[in-house]
Amino acid sequence: MIEFRDACFSYAHHGTGHEGGAGVRDITLTVGPGEVLVVCGRSGCGKTTITRLANGLAPSFFPGTLSGRVLLDGQDVAQLTSWQLAERVGSVFQNPTTQFFTTDTTSEIAFGMESAGWPAERMRARAGEVIDELGLRGLAGRSLFELSGGQLQRVVFASAWAMRPGTLVLDEPTGNLDPGAVRDLRDCVARAKAAGCAVLVAEHRLSWLAGLADRYCVLSGGRVDRVLDSDEFAELSDADVTAMGLRARSAGGIRPAPPPPRGHGGPGRPWLRAAGLSVRRGGRQVLAGVDVRLCPGEVVALTGANGAGKTTLGRALCGLVRTDAGRILVEGAPVSRRVLPRHAAMVFQHVEQQMFAETVDAEVTFGLARPQDVDVAGLLDGLDLAGLGPRHPATLSGGQKQRLAVATAMAGGKRLVVLDEPTSGLDRDAVQRVAALLRRLAADRVVLVITHDLELIAAACDRLIHLADGGVREEVDVRADFVRVRELFEDMSHRTAPVDRIPEPGVTAVRPRPPQSP
């Protein structure tokens, strides 16, 4: 059980650009055994802070001032040691890479048990149980570095669940997941609920929680705005949901946006073609004979299950990974991998990985031969980044970093812009802003967006390319056949997770504990 009693928390460095998030005030909530409580609201309302208070990361890791009390099974979280919290609370963060400690999947699942001193045989048995229970046999023993974001998220949940915690805390757990993986996660949460776990979920994507959540806590400005049971939440009007900044409660309520005004023009002739692209990574065939065409004036969605090769294809089109076969043509002429980065840029899912300069102004022109020729202020102003030029890129919010990466691509004159999961962790209003940005970019560029977000596809995309089994399975005109787009997402939600290779039963990657020094 988790209890918040008039809990208030403010970050120590708030206002400096290095704060860990939005603080909260006067939080009184209870999450009982076998209950799922969903914390929702606009970005910046304090959802993540609630999860950090529940698992003890605030203020132990994120320094700040805490008043009131946060209790875990009747004990004050502030009085519990880190190892006591780790045994009692399983945590799943939005970015799975922030909580890995090993290099392969099976060792990662066993890491918490190993750290707690479980006997080796018990550890092996429990890790094997979790792998089978969560359908991860195809990922067992794999390098973490060769997995997709969604596959990494599944491993994180398995490592949290392996310790049999009485409490689960999940912060935006579906941000990187395809519909099938979301279904798997829902099954996992349902299993935890049935086992008597208290489950706290901070989430923007709400449709997967219908019929599973018991109560919804809507935050606004760091305070509890309202708490609704599942029936009350289902009875809210669409206008109420929109006013609270919440995303769609079901896929059935999502409709495609009207086409752009005729003056914007439609797709032109293909600017880029990929023919017969094949890529192998880690001994696995990721792409096999992929053919795609991308045209100026349209926003193309690239979809598919986690591990289908979406990010690999995006990187290949930008010259960021080596291809084993096939060719890429720009305006009809073959282009080498070395030349592609002159034409294309990719905005990574974790965009902080591509920030290099000390200021926002310098980041925009980083690597350019003639930075003085770029209207940096104009670019920043056009992307709602005016006045941020002197700031360090690390001090920006996630959305601001994303737009900064787009500004860098525009400054370099890139004609192809690939964005990888640009709406992960965003609320309804922010998704609409990203959609507007994509439409604006597409006016004179080629835009490819890798996404599992049906709301973004409906709001911004003209065409959808669906990957499966290493190739292009289908292409769909989003506005003309949105019913088919929904069907593809429904098909993904019922798929069986792919098994690339089956290791021997049991756990073989758990490292023996080294002998203790005398």
CATH 3.40.50.150 fits 266-493, yes or no: no
Task: Please determine, for residue 496, whether its predicted confidence score (pLDDT) is greater than 60.
Answer: no
Pairwise CA distance, residues 240 & 388, whole Å:
34
Rounded mean pLDDT of the chain? 89
Residue type, 253: G
Q: Residue 356: pLDDT band by 50, 70, 90 thresholds? A: very high
Mapping DSSP to helix (H, G, I), strand (E, B) and coil, where does residue 269 land?
coil
Pairwise CA distance, residues 493 & 487, whole Å:
10
Q: Which residues contact 101 (CB under 8 A, 6 or more apart)?
A: 108, 111
Q: Is 83 exposed, middle or buried (0-12, 13-18, 19+ CB in 10 A)?
A: exposed
Task: Please determine, for residue 7, whether its predicted confidence score (pLDDT) is greater than 60.
Answer: yes
Q: What is the DSSP string of 285-337?
A: EEEEEEEEEE-TT-EEEEEESTTSSHHHHHHHHTT-S--SEEEEEETTEEE-T
Is residue 457 within 8 A of residue 451, CB to CB? The reply is yes
Closest CA to 323 of 333, 311, 313, 331: 313
Q: What are phi and psi of 352, to 5 degrees?
A: -65, -15
Q: Match 């890529």 to its residue by tokens.
A: 279
Task: Give the CA angle between residues 464, 499, 472 to the nearest 5°.
Answer: 20
Task: Please determine, for residue 477, whether its predicted confidence score (pLDDT) is greater than 70.
Answer: yes
Task: Please determine, for residue 313, whether its predicted confidence score (pLDDT) is greater than 90.
Answer: yes
Ranges of each domain in the chain: 2-249, 266-493
- What distances in angstroms separate CA 413 from CA 365, 416, 449, 506, one per listed residue? 11, 9, 18, 52
Q: How high is the pLDDT of residue 508?
A: 37
HEC readout, 142-161: CEHHHCCHHHHHHHHHHHHH
| CA quadruple 375, 381, 383, 388: dihedral, nearest 10 | 100
pLDDT digits (tens, 9 = 90+) for 63-96: 999 999 999 999 999 999 999 999 999 999 888 8
The bridge status of strand 24-31 relative to strand 167-171 is unpaired
pLDDT digits (tens, 9 = 90+) for 214-264: 999 999 999 999 999 999 999 999 889 989 989 988 888 788 988 876 555
Give the residue ranges of DSSP H helices in 4-145: 47-54, 57-60, 82-88, 105-115, 120-133
Residue 240: count of CB within 10 angstroms of its CB? 11
pLDDT digits (tens, 9 = 90+) for 24-55: 999 999 999 999 999 999 988 999 999 999 99
Q: How high is the pLDDT of residue 228?
A: 98
CATH 3.40.50.720 fits 2-249, yes or no: no
| One fold for 2-249 and 266-493 | yes
Average pLDDT estimate for 105-115:
96
Q: Residue 149: pLDDT band by 50, 70, 90 thresholds? A: confident
